[in-house]
Amino acid sequence: MTKRFIDLTLTVRHGMRGVAIEPHTRIDPDGYNTTNLHLYSHAGTHMDAPLHFLEGGATIDQWPLAQLVGPAQVIDLSAVEPHGLHTVDDLLPHAAKVTPGCRLLLRSDWSLHADLPDYRPDMPRISVELARWLVERQVALVGVETPSVASLRPENKGELTEVHRTILGGKIVIVESLTNLRELRQETVEFIALPLKIDGGDGSPVRAIAIEEG
């Protein structure tokens, strides 16, 4: 059986928010190429650890690997408006797929805005009620095509905090700034997102991929 591999990761490049890439050595005159990488822990496609919003929360190296790899349900929420909310009502038609231990990839196509000024302020986001519903359903992982699961507008700081604390407090892995979910052809894919093993880390860039069978 053939497998199709889809890269769900934004390319890390110099000048991206939180990223600086500088030469360290070069073949001429050093004999080999090496590079200094300066990475914000939540740069590009990345994973949040509970410590990101919970005092004393688990760190990025403490997420169980089995939670980060496995079948994921692709939910198409691309009809959402800019700065719109993903609500419980949006997920109810897919409720049969939202079972304990499941992984959800919420397609919004917002990754098409990754290089546009509206990428952060106008992104759609998860409502507080939906965050609570996901915890009640004992979801294992939720991935989004936006730089955050909650609004990054300054006036919505309370929402940002509550949504993150609810999801992370429910031991749900958060993967943000995914891309290319529109390229997936199947409703269930094998999903892999592995962070750097950072001691005490509150988050880490990841390489996220999906695998489709047949």
Question: Can the peptide bond before residue 117 be classed as cis, meaning omega within 30 degrees of 0?
Answer: no
Confidence band for 214, pLDDT divided at 50, 70 and 90: confident
Tens-place pLDDT, residues 123-159: 999 999 999 999 999 999 999 999 999 999 999 999 9
**What integer pLDDT is reported at residue 1 of this predicted model?**
78
What total of structural domains would you count in the chain? 1
The CATH number given to whatever domain includes residue 74 is 3.50.30.50
**What integer pLDDT is reported at residue 77 of this predicted model?**
97
Catalytic member of 52, 86, 113, 164:
52
**Exposure string for 165-193, b = 16+ CB within 10 A, e = fewer:** bbbbebbbbbbbbbbbbeebeeebbbbbb
164 catalytic per annotation: no
**What integer pLDDT is reported at residue 34 of this predicted model?**
98
Give a yes or no: residue 166 inside a domain. Answer: yes
Give a yes or no: residue 20 inside a domain. Answer: no
Give a yes or no: residue 52 inside a domain. Answer: yes
Give a yes or no: residue 33 inside a domain. Answer: no
Round to whole Å and give the CA distance between 113 and 193: 22
Contact predicate 125/146, CB 8 Å:
yes
- Residue 5: pLDDT over 90: yes
Give a yes or no: residue 22 inside a domain. Answer: no
Contact predicate 48/176, CB 8 Å:
yes
pTM confidence score = 0.97
Element of type H or E holding 130? helix 128-136
